[in-house]
Amino acid sequence: MTSEGLKNYQDINIKNGSSLTDEISFKEILLNITYWFKYILSYWVIILVVMLIGGVIGFIRANKQKIRYIASSTFVLQEAGGDNENASNTFTSIIGFGPPAVGGMFQGDNLLELYRSRLMIKKTLLSKTDSSDYLIDRYIKISGLKQAWRNNPRLKNINFFIKADKKYARIQDSLISLFVNDINNNYLSVNRVGRLSIFRVQVVSENEEFSKLFNYQIVKTVNQFYIQSKIKKSTENLKLLQYQVDSIGSALNGAMYKVASSTDVNINSNLARQVLRIPSQRSQIEVENNRTMLNELVRNLEVSKMSLRKETPLIQIIDEPEYPLDKIQVSKTKAIMEGAFITGVIAIAYYSLVLLYKKILQ
């Protein structure tokens, strides 16, 4: 056999050997899969029982889980004094979505953090409801704390509106901090709706009335605080100008009375004696000065009022929570299917590992 023929013969043998190896590997895989399937199928009764147990667990879990109520408010905020583009992008800039606005104390995520702040949640909790009770009392009741504190002499009659001694005040502050954290984590959410400058505040709890009242009150509290903070400086300037206008007005009235009084006193005086006219002339000069100052202050006061109206942001409530509120309720059918599926997968995985362990030992 020539060298070329020998080479071709070797190549053919190599190709046939490769094909044979691939075929054997594929058959082994099929055999292993078939064996694994038969092995798992041999335990189908146990797996079925495990899945039934998982379904029962899912049903019990869904049955014990209480209905939760969602109170949702949507609003849009427009800063005054800007052009159309700034007006449409202002609130987007405030919460950190979109181009940053120039100036302002509530930029970035500050407004979102304001909703989650201890101050705002505390003010909301300590506010009264329509039935003259406080939201914090309702929160303690629906969260189960009132029942848990029944046997605790320091907590069962706790009152957050009485200024206590230093030691007891520390307990009050600690409890409020715990309430704030719980509300942030489990009750309250604030987010943006799509790509629009519309934002949603949601409160979820197991009590429908509490969800609605807390949602309404926290939106009201934060919005009022926001507006007051934005116009605080302008309001203070306006009060100062108003005080100056009132003071100069009083001084002008006093000066006018002095002029009239001097004229009345010297009504039949000798006109040749100029010294008698000095008090009247001095009062007249004071009247003119006060009148000039008053005119300027009144003008500035009106300008400040217009500026305050322009600086006051517009917060427009779009939707408020109304009864009946939307519910969050776990579907019992879905819970049963999920429980059965998860436990079934666990059982199959367990017997698969047992089979793998046996093969390794062999």
SS3 221: helix
Residues facing residue 319 across a β-bridge: 74
As a whole number of angstroms, the distance between CA 294 and CA 191 comes to 50
Same domain, 127 and 224: yes
Same domain, 164 and 185: yes
**Are 223 and 114 a contacting pair, CB within 8 Å?**
no
Mean pLDDT by 10 residues, the chain (362 residues): 47 48 69 85 88 87 83 80 44 40 47 84 87 85 86 80 68 89 92 73 91 92 85 80 81 71 56 54 72 82 80 81 84 84 90 86 78
pLDDT (0 to 100) of residue 100 = 40
pLDDT (0 to 100) of residue 346 = 92
Same domain, 338 and 271: no
| DSSP tag of 126 | T
As a whole number of angstroms, the distance between CA 52 and CA 61 comes to 14
Same domain, 93 and 113: yes
Extended strands (E) in 122-229 = 188-192, 199-205
Sorted by sequence, the CB contacts under 8 Å of residue 229 that are 6+ apart come out as 105, 106
Sorted by sequence, the CB contacts under 8 Å of residue 242 that are 6+ apart come out as 301
Q: Tokens for 237?
A: 């300037």
Q: Is-above-0.75 flag for pTM?
A: no
As a whole number of angstroms, the distance between CA 111 and CA 105 comes to 9
pLDDT (0 to 100) of residue 194 = 64
Same domain, 276 and 321: no
As a whole number of angstroms, the distance between CA 197 and CA 176 comes to 32
Same domain, 137 and 110: yes
Sorted by sequence, the CB contacts under 8 Å of residue 210 that are 6+ apart come out as 135, 138, 139, 142
Q: Tokens for 97?
A: 């979505």
As a whole number of angstroms, the distance between CA 173 and CA 175 comes to 5
Same domain, 297 and 318: no
pLDDT (0 to 100) of residue 84 = 41
Is the sign of the CA dihedral 53, 59, 64, 65 positive or negative? Answer: positive
Tell me the one-letter amino acid at 126.
Answer: L
As a whole number of angstroms, the distance between CA 259 and CA 279 comes to 8
Sorted by sequence, the CB contacts under 8 Å of residue 305 that are 6+ apart come out as 238
Same domain, 138 and 218: yes
What is the domain-level CATH number for residue 241? 1.20.58
Burial 155-179 (b: 16+ CB within 10 A, else e): eeebebeeeeeeeeeeebeebbeeb
Q: 207: closest CA among 72, 69, 63?
A: 69
**Are 149 and 260 a contacting pair, CB within 8 Å?**
no
As a whole number of angstroms, the distance between CA 63 and CA 57 comes to 10
Same domain, 88 and 48: no
Residues facing residue 76 across a β-bridge: 316
Same domain, 47 and 122: no
As a whole number of angstroms, the distance between CA 313 and CA 80 comes to 5
Same domain, 36 and 71: no
pLDDT (0 to 100) of residue 203 = 93
Measured between alpha carbons, how far is residue 322 from residues 71, 131, 220 in Å? 8, 17, 16
Q: Tokens for 199?
A: 């934002």
Sorted by sequence, the CB contacts under 8 Å of residue 224 that are 6+ apart come out as none
pLDDT (0 to 100) of residue 86 = 46
Domain that holds residue 341: 3-63+331-361
- Token pair 């009375």 in the structure block, residue: 257
Same domain, 77 and 156: yes
Say how many domains are in the chain. 3
Q: Tokens for 154?
A: 């320091």
